[in-house]
């Protein structure tokens, strides 16, 4: 099988395609023949050496795949028969034509769901569910500011907000505003030409928003957009990544300038600051499994629809990374295997 390896840090071109044997599923594992793999900003960060959770190099990254069951490891019965179309949470190893995955992390997908759509669900939608339902408790009538709203998590969050009856304000470059409005965003802000803090205050009559989802690292300004009882959910720091190659001279000042939120200030402001990292919840697979099953049911009922903005062949993973780093993507970027 072919797989894509990170052997050293650097620009997208350091990704290396290698041939090797198929993995052998161990006890309780399922061998999935991969048809689609999700690409996430965490993968880009791992290639840049900015993702501490990445496995030691050389490594194969990739948190999610979709494909068919090819073989069952010892101890498994027929719950996932050979040939069943599935999606799986892999937590690395997903940039490959085959991957062995523990059975609890594998889910049958609806017949009308494409492999590309399936690969767009786990990371983006589980992250959005954790933020909006488990932490922020978004309700009808809430106003939610979603940064990087046209990205994979952003588009998932818009759909979940729509289900909850919440109003969404989204930040994105102007070229993506039409897509955001079509998705259900009430107000789109061009972060390149407008101060989102001032725009939010203007749009809300000075009140602010109830929830902010921020993966960009603009935490200080995002906090100031919150109304009393507001919740800031921090789940990334993409603003620290500049250029296609590692640049610690650009990253360090941004890390140093990150805000510290004092408990006394939070009490006096009646606001909350929350952190979310899906990769650190692997020991809560029971909860993640429940949420994945619910999301697949939502898809079957027509309540959610993954937005796959661009696909690349697996062997062109470097082009996929470049596409994401240049902020071109709308929705999910997916690697495909013919």
Question: Does some domain include residue 320?
Answer: yes
Which tokens go with 337? 């295997």
Which tokens go with 308? 């796959």
Residue-wise pLDDT for 313-324, tens only, equals: 999 999 999 999
Residue-wise pLDDT for 231-277, tens only, equals: 999 999 888 777 787 777 777 888 888 999 999 999 999 999 999 99
Q: How many folded domains does the chain comprise?
A: 2
* Preceding peptide of 58 cis, ω within 30°: yes
The CATH number covering residue 100 comes to 3.90.180.10
- Say yes or no: 14 and 114 in one domain: yes
Which tokens go with 82? 């050979």
β-bridge partners, 151? 331
- Say yes or no: 160 and 21 in one domain: no
The three-class DSSP label of residue 314 is helix
- In which domain, by residue range, is 117 found? 2-121+306-336
Query: How far is it, in rounded angstroms, from Cα 117 to Cα 296?
Result: 11
- Say yes or no: 21 and 100 in one domain: yes
The pTM (predicted TM-score) of the whole model is 0.96
- Say yes or no: 137 and 171 in one domain: yes
Half-sphere exposure of residue 130: CA atoms within 13 angstroms, side-chain side: 23
The three-class DSSP label of residue 252 is helix
Question: Does some domain include residue 297?
Answer: no
Report the Cα 173 to chain-centroid distance in Å: 19
Q: Look at residue 186 in the predicted model and tell me its pLDDT.
A: 98
- Say yes or no: 31 and 131 in one domain: no
Q: Look at residue 174 in the predicted model and tell me its pLDDT.
A: 98
Q: Look at residue 79 in the predicted model and tell me its pLDDT.
A: 80
Distances (CA, A) of 255 to 12, 179, 217, 231, 248: 23, 32, 9, 22, 10
- Say yes or no: 62 and 180 in one domain: no
Contact by Cβ (8 Å): 261, 223: yes
Question: Does some domain include residue 248?
Answer: yes
Distances (CA, A) of 166 to 23, 224, 268: 45, 20, 26
Q: What is the 3-state secondary structure (H, E, C) of 40-81?
A: CHHHHHHHHCCCCCCCCCCECCCCEEEEEEEEECCCCCCCCC
The three-class DSSP label of residue 241 is coil
Contact by Cβ (8 Å): 142, 210: yes
Give every residue of the chain whose pLDDT is below 70, as ranges. none
Contact by Cβ (8 Å): 88, 121: no
Other CB atoms within 10 A of residue 199 CB: 19
Which tokens go with 13? 């071109």
Query: How far is it, in rounded angstroms, from Cα 32 to Cα 27?
Result: 14
- Say yes or no: 216 and 193 in one domain: yes
- Say yes or no: 89 and 163 in one domain: no
Query: How far is it, in rounded angstroms, from Cα 45 to Cα 54?
Result: 9
Listed residue (38, 105, 136) closest to 288, CA to CA: 105
Which tokens go with 153? 């998590």
């Amino acid at each position: 099988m072919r797989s894509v390896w990170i052997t050293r840090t650097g620009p997208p071109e350091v990704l290396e395609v290698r041939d090797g044997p198929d993995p052998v599923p161990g006890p309780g594992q399922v061998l999935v023949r991969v048809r689609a793999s999700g690409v996430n900003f965490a993968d880009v960060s791992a290639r840049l050496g900015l993702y501490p959770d990445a496995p030691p190099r050389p490594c194969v990254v990739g948190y999610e795949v979709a494909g068919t069951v090819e073989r069952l490891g010892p101890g498994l019965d027929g719950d996932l028969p050979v040939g069943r179309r599935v999606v799986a949470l892999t937590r690395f190893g997903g940039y490959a034509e085959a991957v062995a995955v523990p059975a609890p992390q594998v889910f049958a997908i609806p017949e009308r769901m494409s492999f590309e759509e399936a690969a767009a669900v786990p990371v983006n939608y589980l992250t959005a569910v954790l933020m909006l339902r488990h932490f922020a408790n978004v309700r009808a009538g809430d106003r939610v500011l979603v940064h990087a709203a046209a990205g994979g998590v952003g588009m998932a969050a818009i759909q979940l907000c729509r289900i909850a009856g919440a109003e969404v304000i989204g930040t994105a470059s102007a070229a993506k505003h039409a897509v955001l409005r079509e998705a259900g965003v009430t107000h789109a802000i061009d972060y390149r030409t407008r101060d989102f803090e001032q725009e939010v205050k203007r749009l809300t009559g000075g009140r602010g928003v109830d929830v902010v989802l921020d993966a960009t690292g603009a935490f200080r300004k995002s906090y100031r957009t919150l109304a009393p009882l507001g919740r800031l959910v921090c789940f990334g720091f993409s603003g620290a990544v500049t250029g296609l190659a590692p640049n610690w001279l650009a990253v360090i000042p941004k890390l140093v300038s990150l805000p510290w939120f004092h408990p006394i200030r939070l009490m006096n402001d009646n606001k909350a600051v929350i952190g979310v990292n899906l990769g650190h919840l692997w020991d809560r697979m029971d909860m993640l499994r429940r949420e994945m099953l619910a999301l697949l049911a939502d898809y079957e009922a027509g309540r959610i629809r993954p937005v796959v903005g661009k696909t690349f062949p697996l062997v062109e993973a470097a082009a996929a990374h470049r596409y994401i780093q240049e902020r071109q993507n709308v929705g999910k970027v997916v690697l495909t295997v013919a």
